[in-house]
Structure 1
């Protein structure tokens, strides 16, 4: 990455904040417009996927558009950045996410600070978060080898699918999870359920990083050619 560190950190903060605003804001809008939960989730899915594609495309050339402490951890493990930069990225991702929550609430004339009441607990949902993050990280690392905007499209499409095939609706991001704990809305998560989600997300990310190191190693897929 050629951008200086301040620009990289600004891109991570802005991208995460706008992503959270899209997730929470579209959830609030959908909840106001329909009583059909499936339709509301579909609207939330489309808005989130569209925002992901746009934000990754825009900020990717600046910071790599990670917007996710679990993804940052993976790139730290793979030697893609220093510990100091990784820590700074995580800090601005969390801060940006919280600002995105406040922005979403402000746009809909809601109290800025809220405690979410939506219960998202249990083994099944934690497993779902591990699976969601595992698949996200594996998809990112695999798509990096493809040309053009493959990563942006891959992430957007994967998250859109994971909204529907996971019981947790695929948070797959510790910073976004924490930000959503402060929104008592369609997209919220009870603060007490946040630690288990984050642990599952980090476990899924680390497992994916380990598998990707073998699966996508140089020369993989050339046997028999």
Structure 2
């Protein structure tokens, strides 16, 4: 039997919260340690995020699938919609709610730990090139996750997804939010990692477009699953937690 819905929602809330706490907290620490070097700040921020994401996937993947991301949740349902053991459509809204609440809580927690005043971000991210960066980042993320799913390489999910996010910090103009819940959460901190609330809708729109492109690429490149039925987006059974069942998404 898969984990109960309350357990899975707790895992999604906790995982997304700690992911955003890492992104925001390491951003605050980076600006304090390296106040005059933005490149070094980004390196410090991205390195912390890579390690934390891999650990969170390993801890929480067997419980909820470690989506931590609404577009991954929707794509996981779509991919498994004909499989009675896959994610149910009725679970999508609770997953997204847990992820979003967790992301907001993550910013609030990071602000509190570093003594930063609670408030909304003033960092505008509203240029078209940033939206294009989000499309590319999200498309690549979805392609990676479901390529692992369909080729039976789920054991690589934690390092592969973390590595991709770390790289996308640097090769995308937007520094790869690639996650609607995290985007909303990062609006609640006026720090290095923040995004002004007025910039959030366009970022989310770009992420949705990127997710659609990513799913289309998966369908074209991996039309049929060739590996194990265990996936990186589906919770494992309560009786046994195998490495192949671990899943992920930032």
In structure 2, the partner of 1:26 is 26
User: Relative to structure 2, which stretch is displaced further, 44-53 or 72-81?
Assistant: 72-81
1:72 & 1:152 partners in 2: Cα distance?
Answer: 17
Q: Secondary structure at the match of 2:158?
A: helix
Give the alignment partner of residue 198 of structure 1, picking from 185, 199, 204: 204
Give how far 1:211 is off.
1.9
In structure 2, the partner of 1:45 is 46
* CA contact 1:66–1:72 (8 Å) conserved in 2: yes
1:199 & 1:190 partners in 2: Cα distance?
Answer: 15
* CA contact 2:148–2:154 (8 Å) conserved in 1: no
Q: How does 1:1-225 map to 2 (within 5 A)?
A: 2-34=2-34, 35-78=36-79, 79=81, 80-112=86-118, 114-144=119-149, 145-147=151-153, 149-218=155-224
Give how far 1:82 is off.
2.1
TM-score (norm. length: structure 2): 0.84
Q: CA offsets per residue over residues 43-76 of structure 1, 9 Å max, x none?
A: 0000011111000111111110000011111112
Q: Secondary structure at the match of 1:149?
A: helix
1:210 & 1:147 partners in 2: Cα distance?
Answer: 20
Q: What residue ranges of structure 1 are gaps of 5+ in the alignment?
A: 221-225
2:180 & 2:170 partners in 1: Cα distance?
Answer: 19
Q: Alignment length, in residue pairs?
A: 219
1:98 & 1:134 partners in 2: Cα distance?
Answer: 24
Q: CA offsets per residue over residues 152-181 of structure 1, 9 Å max, x none?
A: 111100000000000000000000000101
Change (3 A) 1:148 1:90: closer
Q: What residue ranges of structure 2 are gaps of 5+ in the alignment?
A: 227-250
2:213 & 2:116 partners in 1: Cα distance?
Answer: 39
Change (3 A) 1:40 1:214: same
Q: Secondary structure at the match of 1:110?
A: coil
TM-score (norm. length: structure 1): 0.93
1:2 & 1:89 partners in 2: Cα distance?
Answer: 15
Q: RMSD across aligned C-alpha pairs, in angstroms?
A: 1.4
1:216 & 1:197 partners in 2: Cα distance?
Answer: 28
1:149 & 1:39 partners in 2: Cα distance?
Answer: 31
Higher relative contact order (CA 8 A, sep 6+): 2
1:157 & 1:59 partners in 2: Cα distance?
Answer: 18
2:100 & 2:64 partners in 1: Cα distance?
Answer: 16
Q: CA offsets per residue over residues 100-158 of structure 1, 9 Å max, x none?
A: 1111011101223x111112112110010010000001001112234463111111000
User: Relative to structure 2, which stretch is displaced further, 166-175 or 205-214?
Assistant: 205-214
Q: CA offsets per residue over residues 195-221 of structure 1, 9 Å max, x none?
A: 00001001111221122123112378x
